[in-house]
Amino acid sequence: MQRFLNNYYQSASEDLQHAFERMLEMQDPELYDLIVGRQDSGDQNINQVIEHIYR
């Protein structure tokens, strides 16, 4: 998540910034499952943030 914050947050759209902020409010197990691909968020913006984390 630090990678997204450092490299993309400032230039990201408001939708992606809000998605990132929603991710910060998630419980650790839920967030972990999203990031490792065990769970789908059902939210395209959150999915885009996760893609940026892996770039």
pLDDT tens readout for residues 21-36: 999 999 999 999 999 9
Structurally, the chain folds into a number of domains equal to 1
- At residue 33, the pLDDT reads 96
Place of tokens 């929603």: 22
Supply the range of the domain harboring residue 43.
2-53
Place of tokens 């902020």: 21
- Please determine, for residue 18, whether its predicted confidence score (pLDDT) is greater than 90: yes
Name, in order, each residue with C-beta under 8 angstroms of 41's C-beta and a sequence gap of 6 or more.
Answer: 34, 47, 50
Residue type, 37: G
Q: Are 55 and 49 in contact (CB under 8 A)?
A: no
pTM: predicted TM-score of the whole model, two decimal places: 0.88
- At residue 32, the pLDDT reads 96
**Nearest one of 30, 31, 38 to 49, comparing CA atoms:** 31
